Chains A and B, each alone.
Chain A
């Protein structure tokens, strides 16, 4: 399967702490994207990192990409209760327009 894998499957932290989620994939990619899904809702795009980029920032989000290890991480700094959601990585493989989603990390921020 080309599906990415996220780690951990679930993460519970205190408000204000940083949250780190990891994603691994198997084949060469064009880009890797992170999405958030609030309970029972659709997915919302957070950030995209291209295969020739190593790090990208957007507000409290920091994404890294290591193509040699075929892995990416998403860091959310200074977490808030509103960050409670599931987070998915999605990869676009070379030559394709489809996204392949991982199974997600369920993040819970405790007040």
Chain B
């Protein structure tokens, strides 16, 4: 089974702090994604990556950056956390070579910014 892990289930940070959210997948998937999920807004794509060192902006990249130095790891960075970034963050991976776009999700990180 594909396993996608996220570094923390719950995280509390203060406004202005730099925050790192880590995601690791163990199935050699090319694609990795970061979403945030908010009530009434569904899942919104922040950034995605098709390969190591490649990144593409999603629908809401402002205030975020990403890093993909190794194929299995995709990091989401909040350079200066703000209260409006309080949210559930979900990481996912997929393998286009399988012929589907099925995404495999991690358990999520619930981030609270005070």
Contact = CB atoms under 8 A, between A and B. Distances in A.
Given A88-B43, A97-B96, A98-B48, A42 B102 contact: no
Contact of A99 (B40, B101, B106, B108): B101
Contacts of B40: 103
Contacts of B108: 40-42
The winner among A40, A42, A99 for most chain B CB atoms within 10 A is: A42
A45 B110 contact: no
B101 A92 contact: yes
Contacts of B107: 41-42
A48 interface: yes
Instruction: Please classify the interface of chain A as helix (H, G, I), strand (E, B), loop, or mixed, using the class held by over half of its residues.
Output: strand
Given A31-B101, A33-B102, A48-B100, A43 B90 contact: yes
Interface residues of B, number: 27
Contacts of A35: 105
Contacts of B4: 42
26 contacts: A3-B42, A33-B101, A33-B102, A40-B108, A42-B4, A42-B105, A42-B106, A42-B107, A42-B108, A43-B90, A43-B103, A43-B105, A44-B105, A48-B100, A48-B102, A88-B42, A88-B43, A92-B101, A97-B31, A97-B50, A97-B94, A97-B101, A98-B58, A101-B35, A102-B42, A103-B41
Q: Which 4 A-B pairs have the closest CB atoms?
A: A42-B105, A103-B42, A101-B43, A43-B105
